[in-house]
Chain A
Amino acid sequence: EPEVTQTPSHQVTQMGQEVILRCVPISNHLYFYWYRQILGQKVEFLVSFYNNEISEKSEIFDDQFSVERPDGSNFTLKIRSTKLEDSAMYFCASSEVAETQYFGPGTRLLVL
C-alpha cells in the first residue's frame, strides 16, 4: 500500500541553524500539507500546498518557514534559523482529493 515517507526520522540541530525536512507524498496525490506537534500539545496545521503554490498557511508559518516541491516527488519544509520553540514532531501529509489526508511517520526535530 502506498504511503507517505519522511526523512530524516530524527534531526538534532543548533539554534540558528537551517534545517530541511523532506517528504515524499503518495505518488498520485495533488495536495500536500505540513503539521507539527509540540510535545504534549495538539497537532497544529502549518501550511497547505496545491498546484505548486501555498493554498493556506497558519500564523505559525512565518518568514522563517518555506516549502518547496523541487521535483515531481519531494516536498520539503525549510526552517531558516531554528529557535528552541521549533522543537517538535513535524508531519507531512498528502491527499489525492481534498477529503482524506494521509500522514507520514514524522520527523522529530530537536533544537538545542
Chain B
Amino acid sequence: GEDVEQSLFLSVREGDSSVINCTYTDSSSTYLYWYKQEPGAGLQLLTYIFSNMDMKQDQRLTVLLNKKDKHLSLRIADTQTGDSAIYFCAERGDTGKLIFGQGTTLQVKP
C-alpha cells in the first residue's frame, strides 16, 4: 500500500544547511509536499513539487525529487533557530488525499 517514510530527527548548527529525506512507495503520486509544524501549531505548507520535475527552489528551500528511487529531499540553506520544527513529507495520490510521513524533528543549535 501507500507509505511514506522519514528519519525521525536531525540536529544541525545555525548557519549550516539541513537536508531532510523522505521515501515514498506510490509511483502514481502526482505531487509531493513538505509541510512544517511548529509546537502547538497546524501544518504549514512550505513547498511542493510536481512529479515530472526534478528540482524546485524557493528562496532558502530546495526540493529534489528522484522519481526512479522514489526519494524526496528538502534542503534548507543557512538554517536558523526559527527553522526548528517538525517537517512532514507527504504524497498526493490519484484520489487527492495526502499520505504523510511520520515527520522529522529538526533541531537547530545556536
Residues of A at the B interface (CB closer than 8 Å) are 4, 6, 31, 33, 35, 41-45, 48, 55-56, 58, 91, 93, 98-106
- Which one of B31, B44, B88 contacts A43 once the chains associate, using CB atoms below 8 Å? B88
Assembly CA distance A99 to B99 (angstroms): 13
B96 contacts chain A at the CB level, 8 A cutoff: yes
> Closest residue to A89 on the B side, CB-wise?
B42
Tell me the minimal C-beta distance from A19 to chain B in angstroms.
Answer: 19
- Residues of B contacting A: mostly: strand
Interface size class of B (residues with CB under 8 A): 20 to 34
Task: Find out whether the CB atom of A45 lies under 8 angstroms from the CB atom of B92.
Answer: no
**Across the interface, do A42 and B95 meet the contact criterion of CB distance under 8 Å?**
no
Residues on A with C-beta less than 8 A from B41 are 105
Minimum CB distance partner of B44 in chain A? A103
SS of A interface (majority):
strand
Residue of B nearest to A99 (CB): B31
Given contacts A42-B102, A100-B48, contact A48 B42 (CB under 8 A): no
Q: What are 6 A-B pairs at a CB distance below 8 A? A: A43-B100, A48-B95, A93-B43, A100-B48, A101-B45, A101-B98
Q: Are B96 and A56 in contact (CB under 8 A)?
A: yes
Given known contacts A41-B102, A42-B102, A91-B43, A103 and B35 CB-to-CB distance under 8 angstroms: yes
Q: Is the CB of A45 within 8 A of B99?
A: yes
B60 within 8 A of A: no
Give the residue name and chain of the A residue nearest to B102 (CB): A42
Which residue of B has the minimal Cβ distance to A35?
B98
